[in-house]
């Protein structure tokens, strides 16, 4: 028996118009300064004004939102007493909004530590949460994860909290917010969505529902990411990618990501490589490593099925060849969209890598994403993978 969790997803051009049908007079908006300065916040507030809703804005969310920021926003939210909370922005704003929602619903909670999977949060009693993504990547509008940064005794810690109660009530997936996004951000966020879909397909938690959405998302990303990178105003491509990111979010939210994300999180923590760039870089290495599993063909079978379903391979191809073609297609997409294919290309020096290798490996071994990896992996394998990744070598072990 398995469950599949999802918000109500409103998607397509003019999805924002659906706000009209969502009850709620007082809206508390959680966002970041960039969304405000880009005029994206105004698209939302203009709509709220037309609908006769009142609102208040907290726009201080920073990238990798800090715990204190979430508490500050929650205090403002409690004073305002809304019946709708709206998170608008990239993953950081949406994560912050989820945290605010829980703390507003539960004023007795002392910290975000209370957001863990082993209790019923029963959210939605005071307000409902609407998540409006402005990038096509994280899938945070659909997932039950909240990533909050804690600084303690000079150390920075990423708290990866999770509870089904933080899944937004509504995900409003309107491509208008992604129109004109610069090529680099489009590529990075697109690869994040691709990595979510690809990694959850081979996850030990994969299931038929997540598979269907993951394969659908991969098809859309392979077709439309190059188009959106070339022409940021191509709304057909924007809509396809925005939907694909939410589909990827639903898929990995219900099946988990694997070693690619474990390695990417470690690279992000040590070398401050943006998440999308890091997961994009790690993806083919993660796929190749799982394809070479000496104990099981499960990854080959899943990736081959995907390759054939999305038209990268023929149905008559043998599974190994088809899975290989999918890896090659991902590598092609990296080059096509200008994403780095090695650590060297990211200006990481050999000395820097060697100096930080033990830290990187420790972070990977501690990562929850490593647990769901289908092929056994340990210290020596991670060491080898980072070594291959340094020079862009094909994984052959
Ligand atoms: Fe991700």
Q: How far is the CA of 91 from the centre of ligand 1 (A)?
A: 9
Ligand 1 centroid–CA 394 distance in Å is: 23
35 CA distance to ligand 1 middle (Å) = 20
Q: How far is the CA of 60 from the centre of ligand 1 (A)?
A: 23
**Ligand 1 centroid distance, CA of 368 (Å):** 13
pLDDT for the residue numbered 80: 98
DSSP string, 265-310: HHHHHHH---HHHHHHHHHHHHHHHHHT-SS--HHHHHHHHHHHHT
Confidence of residue 158 (pLDDT cuts 50, 70, 90): confident
- Residue 111: its pLDDT value, please? 93
What is the Å distance from ligand 1's center to 275 Cα?
7
Ligand 1 center to residue 265 CA distance, Å?
A: 9
Residue with tokens 């289908």: 374
CA of 261 from ligand 1 middle (Å) equals 7
pTM confidence score? 0.96
Compute the distance from residue 140 Cα to the ligand 1 centre, in Å: 9
Tell me: pLDDT of 207 over 90: yes
Q: How many angstroms does the Cα of residue 85 sit away from the middle of ligand 1?
A: 24
**What pLDDT was estimated at residue 154?**
83
Give me ligand 1 centre to Cα 23, in Å.
32
Tokens of 359: 């830290």
Q: What is the pLDDT of residue 2?
A: 86
Cα(385)–Cα(360) distance, rounded to whole angstroms? Answer: 11
Distance 250 CA to ligand 1 centre (A): 12
Confidence at 155, pLDDT banded by 50, 70, 90: confident
* Residue 189 pLDDT: 98
Give phi and psi for 11, each to the nearest 5.
-135, 165
| % of the chain beyond a pLDDT of 90 | 95
Judge residue 344's burial from the number of C-beta atoms within 10 Å of its C-beta, 0-12 exposed, 13-18 middle, 19 or more buried.
middle
Q: What is the tens place of the pLDDT at every residue in 5-55? A: 999 999 999 999 999 999 999 999 999 999 999 999 999 999 999 999 999
Tens-place pLDDT, residues 257-285: 999 999 999 999 899 999 999 999 999 99
Q: pLDDT class for 157, splitting at 50, 70, 90?
A: confident
Is 152 a residue whose pLDDT tops 90?
Answer: no
Alpha helices in the chain (DSSP H): 33-37, 40-50, 67-80, 91-105, 183-202, 208-230, 235-253, 259-271, 275-291, 298-309, 319-336, 350-366, 368-371, 379-391
d(CA 17, ligand 1 centre) in Å: 28
Beta strands at 26-30 and 155-162: parallel, antiparallel or unpaired: unpaired
Å from CA of 79 to ligand 1 middle: 33
Ligand 1 centroid from CA 47, angstroms: 30
List of domains in the chain: 8-177 (3.40.50.1970), 181-391 (1.20.1090.10)
* Residue 314 pLDDT class (50, 70, 90 cuts): very high
């Amino acid at each position: 028996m398995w469950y599949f969790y999802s918000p109500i997803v409103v998607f397509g051009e003019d999805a924002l118009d659906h706000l009209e049908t969502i009850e709620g007079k007082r809206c508390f908006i959680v966002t970041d300064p960039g969304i405000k300065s880009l005029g994206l916040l105004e698209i939302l507030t203009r709509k709220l004004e037309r609908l006769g809703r009142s609102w208040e804005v907290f726009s201080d969310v920073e990238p990798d939102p800090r715990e204190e920021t979430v508490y500050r926003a929650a205090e403002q939210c409690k004073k305002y007493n809304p019946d709708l909370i709206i998170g608008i922005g990239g993953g950081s704003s949406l994560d912050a909004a989820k945290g605010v929602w829980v703390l507003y619903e539960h004023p007795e909670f002392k910290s975000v530590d209370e957001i863990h999977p082993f209790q019923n949060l029963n959210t939605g009693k005071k307000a409902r949460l609407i998540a409006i993504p402005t990038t096509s990547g994280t899938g945070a509008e659909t997932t039950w994860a909240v990533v909050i940064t804690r600084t303690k005794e000079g150390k920075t810690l990423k708290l990866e909290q999770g509870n089904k109660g933080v899944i937004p009530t509504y995900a409003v997936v309107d491509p208008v917010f992604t129109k004109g996004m610069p090529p680099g951000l489009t590529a990075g966020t697109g690869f994040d969505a691709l990595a979510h879909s690809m990694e959850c397909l081979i996850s030990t938690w994969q299931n038929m529902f997540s598979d269907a959405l993951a394969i659908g998302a991969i098809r859309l990303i392979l077709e439309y990411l190059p188009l959106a990178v070339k022409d940021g105003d191509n709304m057909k491509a924007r809509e396809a990618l925005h939907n694909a990111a939410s589909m990827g979010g639903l898929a990995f939210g219900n099946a988990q990501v694997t070693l690619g994300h474990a390695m990417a999180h470690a690279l992000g923590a040590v070398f401050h490589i943006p998440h999308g760039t890091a997961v994009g870089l790690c993806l083919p290495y993660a796929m190749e490593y799982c394809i070479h599993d000496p104990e099981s063909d499960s990854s080959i079978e899943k990736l081959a099925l995907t390759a054939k379903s999305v038209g990268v391979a023929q149905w008559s191809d043998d599974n190994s060849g088809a899975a290989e073609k999918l890896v090659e297609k991902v590598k092609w997409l990296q080059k096509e969209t200008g994403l780095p294919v090695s650590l060297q290309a990211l200006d990481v020096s050999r000395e820097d890598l060697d100096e930080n290798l033990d830290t990187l490996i420790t972070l990977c071994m501690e990562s929850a994403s490593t647990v769901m990896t289908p092929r056994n992996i340990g210290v020596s394998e991670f060491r080898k993978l980072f070594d291959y990744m340094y020079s862009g070598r094909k994984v052959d072990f």
